[in-house]
């Protein structure tokens, strides 16, 4: 059944219904002692992320596999384990660096691992914003790098650090009906946070590396709290780096806390809270002329008369993420998982009006006597203030029967955003600049209030008609409302205000069969849905009747096998993407249109083989194809293939891995005209990485503690620095801006626990 969408104004009380539902449901949780548990053990769809005992057996191929498909999944899935994350990545890394270990995933941090937002992060060609990102089962909906709910993209450096991540699950498909999120059809990156250690410990850590990078951390694990059996961990860290790009440094402070408290034998309460403060100097990319004249690592300058001056291009970002969760088996055969959460993003950014040098200096300010004063040499710039807050509730029930399970639940989310963009004189410390909009007009470009409301109830069955076979039909109702009030919008030259709501009924079906405990196969068909972004609705009427919400039908088959010496999985997919919304820039004007359909198809696979004596070889990869149905042209930003391959040694505490990562060729998104082949082709590239780690067990009675860990990570051994993508254009709307691969880097880290 295809999703149906409509837009209208009669739903101002839409979220009042959501709040009423929260009010009705939440007291039941409290009375039943069934408020949330540690959801760090569930995947995007609420299923466990295990599936095969060998995945937790050191020395086996499933354990050593950098990325592996679990045996109990019903769609193409890759799990990147804690030991793979701890050994193969620099301490500065973000989740965007880690997920590239799995098939069909591509993207690069131009300033070094975790030192800048990832560029062109995609799964099978679905761009960030077309797939979900979750933290402990909670969907995060934001935009990079600006930070407003314009679409559903994400900030890769603004929340959890590498040391706080226990596992990452990459679902390359829409999942079942229980898979929540605003962009399910492109897949889900599910990030699971680490749990406290079972023993009391203090663990200081330090990391040094290229680009004048230094990171210090301190972790405190409480051990058992009193007689409750509860556990807690607090982890703080400080990172400072100049970055690979010139004068594009970052400084970041992070504090993470997680506490798990049993409430009797059948109920567990979990508290998690994170706060992150970042100061960064951000490059928007470089023109071809800048790269040729100033080098592949040009980012910003140290010239205070330039709009590219590092001191003028500075972001202050504060983020937080918290939830209280409870898991309970509150009655025979019943299980409840629920989370009440909030997360926020507060951005205060300054930038030169045109850091890429196509616009001359010059400002016009207002004097105390009310006259306008021209300053032909002053540096013009902008100040963007952007803050949003999400509050939500996720509740899942499960009832087990002899013939199978019934699962049902609901996700409710409300997000509120405030945004202002003003023209300023950077030379004079940020006073208003009236030159860009014309003397006598307001220097304010954007004044925005945006609210979104989401409701997603679902129900699904896990039926087991014969031994080994599980059939999972389900349906989810997706409701999304966008309420925008924008008194000032210089993009279209007038105020904008509207309320739009979208509805879809999304069916799904999975069949999974276990031939034996080590071998399973699956087939899946499901519908996906994504409401239009905020900016595509910028028209004089507030609504564009020519734009239809995007939908997909996903068809996937696959298998997974795990033995002591071999971990193997493969899958094939076909995705019919309907009503693709694309953008075409004509100078300063951006036109949005339904490009038509897109057919995505491909094959993916992973294999790890245990040679013996601690050595393993592995490879994974994908062949990906995406073409528009209207013009039969390749879809931009879709690599033709991805591949990872290498060798691993892991024995007696010594870990070494040499891994080569390949990203296939692709076109960029700077189309010459609607429907034409995208403007520029980018050749395949590879990054060869080496990791060496040594774990030294603690002596004597402290052997219960984690080992002392020493690690060396070398990124991009062969020092590839070519252009890998264009991420947009300069202020003139014509000149492409490029990013290059970050050059070779070396990072060394040490952690020493004390009991």
pLDDT at 467: 94
Q: How far apart are CA 397 and CA 264, in angstroms?
A: 19
Q: How far apart are CA 454 and CA 434, in angstroms?
A: 39
Is residue 143 included in any domain, yes or no?
Answer: yes
Tell me the CATH number at 530: 2.40.170.20
* Residue 32 clears pLDDT 60, i.e. is over it: no
For residue 707, the 8-state DSSP code is: P
Write out the H or E segment, with its range, that includes residue 289: helix 288-294
Report pLDDT digits (tens) over 258-293: 999 999 889 999 999 999 999 999 998 999 999 999
Residue ranges with strand state E in 353-434? 363-366, 372-375, 380-401, 404-425, 431-432
Report pLDDT digits (tens) over 504-517: 899 999 999 999 99
Q: Do residues 555 and 525 make contact, with C-beta atoms less than 8 angstroms apart? A: yes
Report pLDDT digits (tens) over 93-119: 999 999 999 999 999 999 999 999 888
pLDDT at 44: 43
pLDDT-wise least confident of 94-108, 247-261, 319-333, 494-508: 494-508
Is residue 9 included in any domain, yes or no?
Answer: no
Is residue 66 included in any domain, yes or no?
Answer: yes
Which residue in 5, 4, 2, 339 sits closest to 140, CA to CA? 339
Q: How far apart are CA 620 and CA 170, in angstroms?
A: 14
* Residue 33 clears pLDDT 50, i.e. is over it: no
pLDDT at 701: 66
* Residue 677 clears pLDDT 70, i.e. is over it: no
Q: How far apart are CA 241 and CA 213, in angstroms?
A: 4
The whole-model pTM stands at 0.90
| Terminal alpha carbon distance of the chain | 58
* Residue 693 clears pLDDT 80, i.e. is over it: yes
pLDDT at 308: 96
Residue ranges with strand state E in 464-549? 469-489, 496-516, 519-530
Backbone region of residue 124 per phi and psi (left: phi > 0; alpha: psi in -120 to 50; beta: other values)? left
Q: How far apart are CA 222 and CA 668, in angstroms?
A: 50
| Percentage of residues in the chain having pLDDT higher than 70 | 86
Domain enclosing residue 328, as ranges: 14-751
Mean pLDDT of the chain: 86
Report pLDDT digits (tens) over 66-95: 999 999 999 999 999 999 999 999 999 999
Distance of CA 255 to the CA centre of its chain: 20
Number of domains making up the chain: 1
User: Angle CA(166)–CA(170)–CA(171) in degrees, nearest 5?
Assistant: 135
Is residue 682 included in any domain, yes or no?
Answer: yes
CB-facing half-sphere around the CA of 429: CA atoms within 13 A: 0
Q: How far apart are CA 203 and CA 401, in angstroms?
A: 45
Is residue 6 included in any domain, yes or no?
Answer: no
* Residue 433 clears pLDDT 60, i.e. is over it: yes
Is residue 636 included in any domain, yes or no?
Answer: yes
φ, ψ of residue 581 to 5 degrees: the values are -95, 120
Taking CA atoms, 151 is separated from 198, 237, 537, 584, in Å, by 40, 30, 12, 17
Report pLDDT digits (tens) over 126-171: 988 889 999 999 998 754 333 334 567 788 888 888 899 999 999 9
Report pLDDT digits (tens) over 589-635: 555 666 678 899 999 999 999 999 999 999 999 999 999 887 788 88
User: Angle CA(22)–CA(26)–CA(31) in degrees, nearest 5?
Assistant: 160
φ, ψ of residue 646 to 5 degrees: the values are 170, -170
* Residue 50 clears pLDDT 50, i.e. is over it: no
Dihedral angle over CA of 7, 12, 15, 21, nearest 10: -110
Is residue 452 included in any domain, yes or no?
Answer: yes
Distance of CA 438 to the CA centre of its chain: 39
Assign 3-class secondary structure to 418-482: EEEEEEEECCCCCEECCCCCCCCCCCEEEEEEEEEEEEEEEEEEEECCCCCEEEEEEEEEEEEEE
* Residue 422 clears pLDDT 50, i.e. is over it: yes
Both tokens assigned to 465: 């008609």
Q: Do residues 732 and 289 make contact, with C-beta atoms less than 8 angstroms apart? A: no
Residue ranges with strand state E in 613-722? 615-628, 641-651, 654-663, 666-667, 681-682, 685-696, 708-715
Q: Do residues 644 and 620 make contact, with C-beta atoms less than 8 angstroms apart? A: yes
Q: How far apart are CA 232 and CA 271, in angstroms?
A: 9
* Residue 17 clears pLDDT 60, i.e. is over it: no
Is residue 4 included in any domain, yes or no?
Answer: no
* Residue 450 clears pLDDT 90, i.e. is over it: no
Q: How far apart are CA 563 and CA 146, in angstroms?
A: 46
Over its C-alpha atoms, the chain yields an Rg (Å, rounded) of: 26
For the residues of 36-105, what is the DSSP string, one character each? B--GGGB-TTS-BS---GGGGSTTSHHHH-SSB--TT-SS-EEEE-HHHHHHHS-TT--HHHHGGGSTTE
Write out the H or E segment, with its range, that includes residue 326: strand 314-331
pLDDT-wise least confident of 18-22, 467-471, 682-686: 18-22
């Amino acid at each position: 059944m295809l999703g149906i969408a409509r837009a209208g104004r009669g739903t101002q009380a839409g979220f009042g219904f959501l709040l009423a539902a929260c009010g009705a449901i939440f007291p039941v949780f409290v009375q039943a002692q069934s408020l949330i548990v540690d959801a760090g053990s569930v995947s995007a769809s609420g299923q466990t992320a295990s599936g095969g005992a060998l995945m937790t057996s050191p020395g086996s191929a499933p354990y050593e596999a950098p990325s592996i498909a679990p045996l109990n999944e019903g769609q193409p899935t890759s799990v990147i384990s804690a030991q793979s994350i701890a050994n193969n990545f620099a301490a500065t890394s973000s989740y965007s660096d880690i997920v590239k270990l799995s098939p069909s995933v591509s993207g690069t941090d131009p300033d070094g691992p975790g030192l800048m937002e990832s560029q062109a992060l995609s799964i099978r060609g679905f761009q960030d914003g077309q797939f979900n990102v979750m933290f402990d089962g909670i969907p995060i909906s934001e935009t990079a790098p600006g930070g407003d709910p314009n679409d559903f993209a994400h900030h890769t450096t603004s929340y959890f650090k590498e040391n706080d991540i226990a596992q990452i699950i990459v679902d390359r498909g829409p999942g079942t009906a229980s898979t929540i999120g605003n962009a399910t059809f492109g897949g889900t990156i599910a990030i699971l946070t680490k749990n406290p250690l079972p023993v009391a410990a203090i663990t200081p850590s330090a990391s040094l590396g290229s680009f004048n990078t230094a990171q210090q951390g301190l972790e405190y694990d409480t051990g058992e709290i009193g007689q409750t059996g509860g556990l807690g961990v607090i982890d703080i860290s400080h990172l400072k780096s100049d970055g690979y790009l010139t004068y594009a440094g970052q400084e970041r402070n992070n504090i993470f806390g997680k506490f798990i408290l049993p409430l009797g034998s059948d109920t567990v309460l979990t508290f998690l809270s994170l706060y992150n403060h970042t100061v960064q100097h951000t490059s928007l990319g470089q023109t071809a002329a800048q790269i040729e004249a100033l080098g592949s690592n040009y980012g910003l300058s140290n010239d205070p008369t330039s709009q590219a001056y590092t001191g003028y291009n500075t972001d202050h970002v504060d983020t937080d993420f918290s939830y209280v969760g409870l898991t309970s088996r509150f009655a025979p055969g019943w299980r409840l998982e629920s989370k009440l959460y909030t997360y926020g993003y507060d951005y205060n950014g300054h930038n030169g009006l045109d850091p890429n040098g196509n616009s001359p200096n010059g400002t016009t300010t207002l004097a105390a006597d009310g006259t306008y004063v021209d300053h032909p040499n002053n540096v013009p710039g902008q100040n963007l203030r952007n803050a949003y807050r999400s509050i939500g509730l996720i509740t899942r029930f499960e009832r087990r029967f002899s013939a199978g399970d019934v699962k049902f639940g609901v996700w409710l989310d409300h997000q509120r955003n405030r945004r202002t963009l003003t023209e300023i004189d950077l030379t004079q410390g940020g006073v208003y600049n009236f030159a860009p909009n014309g003397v006598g007009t307001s220097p304010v470009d954007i004044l925005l209030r945006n609210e979104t409301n989401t409701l997603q109830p679902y129900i699904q069955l896990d039926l087991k008609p014969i031994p080994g076979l599980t059939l999972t039909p389900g349906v989810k109702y997706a409701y999304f409302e966008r309420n925008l009030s924008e008194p000032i919008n210089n993009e279209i030259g007038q105020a904008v205000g509207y309320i739009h709501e979208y509805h879809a009924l999304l069916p799904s079906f999975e069949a999974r069969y276990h031939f034996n405990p080590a071998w399973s196969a699956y087939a899946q068909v499901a519908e996906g849905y994504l409401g239009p972004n905020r900016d595509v609705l910028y028209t004089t009427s507030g609504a564009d009747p020519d734009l239809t919400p995007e939908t997909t039908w996903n068809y996937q088959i696959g298998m997974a096998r795990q033995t002591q010496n071999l971990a193997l999985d493969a899958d094939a997919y076909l995705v019919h993407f309907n009503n693709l919304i694309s953008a075409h820039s004509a100078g300063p004007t951006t036109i949005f249109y339904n490009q038509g359909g897109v057919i995505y198809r491909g094959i993916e696979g992973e294999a790890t083989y245990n040679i013996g004596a601690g050595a393993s070889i592995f490879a994974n990869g994908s062949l990906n194809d995406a073409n528009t149905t209207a013009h039969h042209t390749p879809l931009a930003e879709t690599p033709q293939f991805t591949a990872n391959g290498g060798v691993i040694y892991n024995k007696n505490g010594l870990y070494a891995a040499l891994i080569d990562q390949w990203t296939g060729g692709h076109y960029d998104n700077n189309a010459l005209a609607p429907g034409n082949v995208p403007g520029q082709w980018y050749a395949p590239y590879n990054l060869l990485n080496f990791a060496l780690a040594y774990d030294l067990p603690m002596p004597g009675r402290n052997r219960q503690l984690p080992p002392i860990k020493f690690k060396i990570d070398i990124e991009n051994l062969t020092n590839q620095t070519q252009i890998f993508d264009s991420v947009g254009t300069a202020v003139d709307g014509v000149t492409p801006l490029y990013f290059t691969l970050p050059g070779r880097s070396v990072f060394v880290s040490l952690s020493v626990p004390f009991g």
